[in-house]
Structure 1
């Protein structure tokens, strides 16, 4: 058994943690998010299905994205001073900066979350609401349906700052926004064992 790292148990101030604190926590696990001033440690082992799907989707979106759009992985979005979630895939218009650790919501066109049992509640409810309130125009929540990915697509209704469902896609996904995208979700999943 390996020794557990020294994790910060108490925030440096009584108000809790702030977005800039994430850059000052080298001892925190690699995928640490800030939700409502609380640190969320993602320390469980990642499922093969999840990792493969995120990789394949990253490649597929990169191939279709315009030159001024970047598809990232493992980058947080600084929604406000108390929220800095780390989506599976942020699609941004931010200029490339190799030292940057986060994107601003106004730079993000699309956020993709691939649901895991450990993150299901946050991905389906908390992040859905927070990304919409921050003004991010598009949100995809990908579920595992017996080994096949199902993409739940949401589009921001700007006056209400809430997402409206734009469709559920299993066999093929074609969207005109945030740029023309055409995917076959089943082809993104790892092959099934027979």
Structure 2
């Protein structure tokens, strides 16, 4: 799609703003990155997915897990938050957190990572993203061969995070559950990780 065609696809809204209307068949990755969109917009199956206002839990859970991931990250990996990941021609989700290979990290102007450079993706479930985070995105991450996936949800009387962990099974091409973690997240893959999930109470 040319720049002129993209401009023509912007639809005037009642408030005077202009929002893009997907072309037949949806947007491609290349088209997606030419659009002037609100922060953290995702491309899922060629359609634009906009972010709704988030609960405090979402921010605190992301912070807690990011700090935990950074604590012992090895030299050949890097921890990132809210960065686009290209999974295919029409899919560019933006995981809440991701661990990427150091050799896939470019300069400060980098806007995306390729799926082959991603080792772990983490999604913190919000009320408006339950189906995508529990079903749509895990299937797409697995299809792209990303080795590890975590799903984080608010649970229990104290509204603390619980983390469901999954490993990619190359035989089935899908994720296999490796457990659910409530008070403590202690893993040896993709590297040694030990996070006190109750620490969210002190943030």
TM-score by length of 1: 0.90
- The question of 1:98 aligning with 2:118 is answered no
In the other structure, the counterpart of 1:178 is 190
Structure 2 stretches lacking a partner, 5+ long: 1-14
Q: Distance in 2 between matches of 1:120 and 1:4?
A: 31
Question: Secondary structure of the residue that 1:24 maps to in structure 2?
Answer: coil
Q: Deviations over 1:144-172 (max 9, x none)?
A: 00411000000000111100000000121
Q: CA RMSD in A?
A: 1.5
- The question of 1:45 aligning with 2:53 is answered yes
Figure out how many residues of one structure are paired with residues of the other and give that number.
185
Q: CA deviation at 1:122?
A: 0.2
> Which has the higher Rg, Structure 1 or Structure 2?
2
- Structure number with the higher strand fraction is 2
Which of 34, 37, 48 is equivalent to 1:24?
A: 34
- The question of 1:164 aligning with 2:176 is answered yes
Structure 1 stretches lacking a partner, 5+ long: none
Question: Secondary structure of the residue that 2:27 maps to in structure 1?
Answer: coil
Q: Distance in 2 between matches of 1:175 and 1:114?
A: 18
TM-score by length of 2: 0.86
Q: CA deviation at 1:56?
A: 2.1
Question: Secondary structure of the residue that 2:177 maps to in structure 1?
Answer: strand
* Contact 1:53–1:190 under 8 Å retained in 2: no
In the other structure, the counterpart of 1:132 is 142
The 1:58–1:132 alpha-carbon spacing in structure 2 relative to 1, beyond 3 Å, is same
- The question of 1:59 aligning with 2:67 is answered yes
The 1:79–1:4 alpha-carbon spacing in structure 2 relative to 1, beyond 3 Å, is farther
Q: CA deviation at 1:178?
A: 0.7
